[in-house]
Structure 1
Amino acid sequence: MRGVLLPVLVGALIAGTAVIATARAEAADAEILSVIDGIEVSHVRLHDPLPASTGPHPAACDDIEYLRYRLADGPDDPQRADAVLVAQPAAFMGAFSMDRVARNVLTEMRGRGEHSEWWSLPQRSGCAFDTTGLATGDADAAFGYYYEGAEVDGRRFDGFHPPAFLADIGLKQMAHDEYTVLTTRLPSAEFRSSRVFCGGHADGALATAAFGAWDFDGSPGSSLCAGFFGLDGLINTDWLGMGSNPLVQLASGAIGGRGYLAAVQAMRSGAAPVTFAGIPGVAAQAVTMLPIAGLGAGPGETDLNRRMASNAALASLARPLYAGSYPEMLTGAGGLGDDRLTGDAFLGALFGNTSANLSILQTSIGDFDGPVAPKTFPLPSRANGPASGLLGTAARMTPTDPNHLYGWRSGGTVDIHDLSRQLGLVSGDLAYVNPYYTTRFFLDLLAAFGGDRSPAADLGSLRYEAELRSKPTLTVIGDASLQMDLYPKLGLLPADTVYAHGYTHQDVVTGATPDDGTEPVAAAVATFLTARLPAR
């Protein structure tokens, strides 16, 4: 049944109704995780039970969880900060995936005399994933836990079996969670409307746009934010202008709503998956491997690549990230299981834009330090080729000498050691990745941005696009990002878009501050904020 997922989702293209209920959250609980370079990071839990209709779920899923970054010498009360940024991560990513950009922005703002905060608010579905293995901080233990049946502290992983309630974790829940956080933690309407900026990375920007256009008891979500920012993503709920087209609305009400409900019911019944199970490269098994590679980074030789290649359940899903040729992709021979790699080289192989086959993961972190050849899977590299949006614009290379121990040469806009640090960050349910990113969320985005506003499902509350468009908005795009293969061709990029030169999709949130002290994404965000903050 998994093979019908995308046709079901694309065919659904729908929307729905229901105004989100008034926040019923209780007092927040915060745990300080670290204080580094004058920036304090806390894990905040806000108790806010899921609707009773959601069905059985772990107790942890009744909390909204987010990371709060603040200057350690700044005010403890967030409403005394000069600005608060609330950001949603990209698809398959968790709260810690924006750790570097959060630090960069706060540091840049501090240099301009402003005390700001950054709150990373992830999709609630991450609560359903068991982070026990990742929390060990040890790559061998984590790999054994998730893929080899090993125990950690007497606990054994139950397998990659996402629970059925994730069928109800979509755009409506995300909008509700952001509304609840803002109105509960920042109760002053005056503060929110002048000093709170809402945004996100990639799909997180799209979800934030939906939040801004959402109807909360007659008030638009955009009224809770002074402005919006999209990092390699758009603050736009109606790409092609179909949401306000009455003919589209008539068609969606007659056709789309039924298709949407059928797709959701298929997820609830188990006929369609609630996550991207079985899809190479983005299945939970493959996504979980990414932070493990970060935990295993280092100059010594690793066996993670060989263990990954020999694991039947993992190899076929993760091999597309690494394979250099079709024979290697189909058989696994002569590649991942045969190469000698240091921990750094294995991490670079999965994430580096000179190796990784999936542009959505690519970061500019350097290249292999031994003999290599151009990859031919799935297509040869071409900077402006027909598949550059999927495969990236850099030349992708594969090792050629099975006897050579490949290390990794640092380079580019991202520091590989800092990326390794970020990948290893875990606090409770919050991590760098979210292996249980839901198909319901994806379905909702397809429906919303296809223009469907039918009353049959959960998206009928998208009523305030005009109010969202009237808000100050910053768009930052990496000019080596996969988004450059789509947005310009559709004429979607605003005239005042800021381009981060040489940045990939992931570089936009992981870029390190260069020697001259100016990181372009943080600088763009800080300039946008300071131009709009009122005087104290």
Structure 2
Amino acid sequence: MSTAVPRRHGRWPRALAAGALGAAVLTAAPSADGASARTGAPARTESPVASTSPVTGVTETKVSVRIPLPASVGSRPAQCDWLSYLRYRSSGGPSKSAEADRILVAQPGILEGAGAFDSVARNTVKAAAEKGQHIEFWALDRRSNCLEDNTGIATGDATKAVDYYYRGKRVDGRKFDGFLKSDQVRWLAEVGLERTVRDQYDLLAAELPDQKLRKEKVMCGGHSLGGVLTGVFATWDFDGNKATKADAGFNQCAGYFALDTTIATNLDDLNGSSGTLNGSVLPEGTVPDTGLGFTALQAGLRSGVLPRFLALPVVLNPETMNLLAIGGLAARVAPGAESELLGTVPSNVNIETTSRTMFSKNAATFLTGKPSIRDFRLTNAAVLGTFMDDNSAPLSFIQSSVGLFDGGRIVDKNFPLSNDVQGSPALFGTELKAIPDEPDGPLYTWRNYDRVGAADDPVHRSADGTPFTTAAKEVTDIGELARSLSEQPLDFTEDYFPTKLVTDLYLVDEPQIAGHMPHTEGLKANPSVTFVAGDGILADHIPEDKNPVVLPGYQHLDVITAAPVQNDGKREQIATRLSAFARQP
């Protein structure tokens, strides 16, 4: 069934597989401005999502609700007046969310979208169903994700995706308009902390109108920055009258869950001892460090003096985030095939410098560009591992434990930090870095998480004889990571992350923000569970006061991407413990 609902630029037609799963479900609901009621257009859509996930018994749909931004925000694309989330539920459970036993609502981390939660959502729903409880998991997509054009990824063909994004070829009549610049998204200057938590509140109120039911059944939480956003949500006053508390954020939740983060109203736990987000989770310069107050910062964002979304000239920007999805697509469709991606993507300064940063054995290799990643024969899975595995990727917040290179000689990767230097776990991670060392040589393959330590494992070692990894350090199936990156109708990444969202958190004590957060008791008003990746961004400053569940071997992304069965033969612990937490009365 065709609908009048704006798509996320064509991403989801293939993923929905309407012929196999049926037409989209359209449910009329009151619009925030009444426009839908006047025009007859639907104010809500719910569409089935096809998945190749090995986790059975879970039904996934994409839900979109029309909740327009106020006129004061300014001109924006029509699709940005919709809020979307991925809804996961037990296939044997009730079809109505209000009848579920519990509903877990998750805020993504920085530069992260709803698709990143696919594995933890499926695993948790499945674990609960095995205990006789039918829960739902809602993976939220923040409003700025509406700006992404995922048409090329939706083809299911990496070559077609490259043609679409780089060679001007059309898909279903659509031509790629290019990656957006700051001056094209002026409205993002208004999308900060208040907009983000209010979007969550408005979405919950639209989907579950009964506040008492929300208080009884909704568990609020998130990954990374999503834990801080949950803390802010808990303390926020949504009706402007702090004397009335039914509208307070904490009264929309029955409990809180934190995934490699803490439920807080500031960045202290994520920052660790460095004191700034730039000094820990993100590379220096990602977030403007102006020293300005709220009013001056807002003026800078509105005027365009400050960038309206986070982006660096290389490594972290919309183009490289999109390349992760293309890499995931290639690794999903043909993991063991020799990669053609690196040879077909045109070279530019961004791509060249990013690939050098990710795939240089040492500083000399980075400076000369010889040998480059294009000089090696790598499978599609090995290319994805290059950019996201904890033994290769240089930045901790994009690291997962998906295995190791194989098929040829592997040596120490001493760039951008030498293996002999102990860097900040919050920025560089905790694991030894490895890299292929035979350009124009053998085909380098990828040894998946569950084959590390197998009888045929050659056990690649660092120069000092230490194995680069062990089975106990591997957590995530690279095939499932690839699927989450490229199969979901809502992205794994958030390519246009609003600068204002982070700068607001820096200024959370200023009256323009703090005045909306009078319910400080909200942080402890509900029971909570905190999961910490043992090798993740909190590894050197585990928040013991939160009584955390520490997960050995997990990296920052593993808490949301971990395989359902681990290398010890046991069920994945977050799914087991989180579902048990949700089952509590």
How far apart are 1:391 and its partner, in Å? 1.6
Residues 448-477 of structure 1: CA deviation (Å, up to 9, x unaligned): 2xxx1323xx55312212222232111101
Asked whether the 8 Å contact 2:532–2:549 carries over to 1, the reply is: yes
How far apart are 1:147 and its partner, in Å? 3.4
Asked whether the 8 Å contact 1:283–1:317 carries over to 2, the reply is: no
Residues 262-295 of structure 1: CA deviation (Å, up to 9, x unaligned): 2222222222211123343221111111111111
Letter in structure 1 aligned against 2:522: E
- 2:165 is the alignment partner of 1:146: yes
Shift in alpha-carbon separation, 1:45–1:52, aligned structure 2, 3 A = same
- For residues 41-440 of structure 1, what are the structure 2 equivalents within 5 Å? 41-162=60-181, 163-217=185-239, 218=242, 219=245, 220-238=248-266, 259-297=293-331, 298-308=335-345, 310-369=347-406, 370-381=408-419, 385-402=422-439, 403-411=441-449, 412-427=474-489, 430-440=490-500
Partner-residue secondary structure (3-state), 1:205: helix
Letter in structure 1 aligned against 2:92: D
How far apart are 1:527 and its partner, in Å? 2.2
Residues 37-69 of structure 1: CA deviation (Å, up to 9, x unaligned): 121111111111111011111100001111111
Asked whether the 8 Å contact 1:293–1:347 carries over to 2, the reply is: yes
Relative to the length of structure 1, the TM-score reads 0.86
Asked whether the 8 Å contact 1:92–1:437 carries over to 2, the reply is: yes
Q: Structure 2: where are the runs of 5+ without partners?
A: 1-30, 37-42, 270-289, 450-473
User: Higher relative contact order by CA 8 Å / sep ≥ 6: 1 or 2?
Assistant: 1
How far apart are 1:238 and its partner, in Å? 4.2
- 2:500 is the alignment partner of 1:500: no
Partner-residue secondary structure (3-state), 1:41: strand
How far apart are 1:99 and its partner, in Å? 0.2
Asked whether the 8 Å contact 1:91–1:204 carries over to 2, the reply is: yes
Letter in structure 1 aligned against 2:202: T
Asked whether the 8 Å contact 1:285–1:317 carries over to 2, the reply is: no
Partner-residue secondary structure (3-state), 1:444: helix
Partner-residue secondary structure (3-state), 2:116: helix
Q: CA RMSD in A?
A: 2.3
Residues 80-123 of structure 1: CA deviation (Å, up to 9, x unaligned): 11100000111111111000000011011111110000001121
Structure 2 CA distance for aligned equivalents of residues 144 and 442 of structure 1: 34
Q: Structure 1: where are the runs of 5+ without partners?
A: 1-21, 242-255
Partner-residue secondary structure (3-state), 1:44: strand
Structure 1 CA distance for aligned equivalents of residues 579 and 367 of structure 2: 47
How far apart are 1:212 and its partner, in Å? 0.9
Shift in alpha-carbon separation, 1:464–1:283, aligned structure 2, 3 A = same
Letter in structure 2 aligned against 1:374: D
Asked whether the 8 Å contact 1:425–1:432 carries over to 2, the reply is: no
Cross-structure match for 2:47: 31
Residues 208-256 of structure 1: CA deviation (Å, up to 9, x unaligned): 1111111112332011100111101110114669xxxxxxxxxxxxxx9
Cross-structure match for 2:276: none
Identity of aligned residues (%): 36
- 2:454 is the alignment partner of 1:454: no
Letter in structure 2 aligned against 1:301: E
Structure 2 CA distance for aligned equivalents of residues 313 and 240 of structure 1: 32
Structure 1 CA distance for aligned equivalents of residues 422 and 329 of structure 2: 34
Letter in structure 2 aligned against 1:408: W
Letter in structure 2 aligned against 1:292: I
- 2:584 is the alignment partner of 1:527: no
Structure 2 CA distance for aligned equivalents of residues 462 and 317 of structure 1: 40
How far apart are 1:303 and its partner, in Å? 2.4
How far apart are 1:322 and its partner, in Å? 3.0
Partner-residue secondary structure (3-state), 2:197: helix
Relative to the length of structure 2, the TM-score reads 0.79
Structure 2 CA distance for aligned equivalents of residues 95 and 495 of structure 1: 26
How far apart are 1:300 and its partner, in Å? 1.0
Residues 362-382 of structure 1: CA deviation (Å, up to 9, x unaligned): 111111112121111111236
Q: Which moved more, 1:320-329 or 1:228-237?
A: 320-329
How far apart are 1:78 and its partner, in Å? 0.9
Letter in structure 1 aligned against 2:47: E
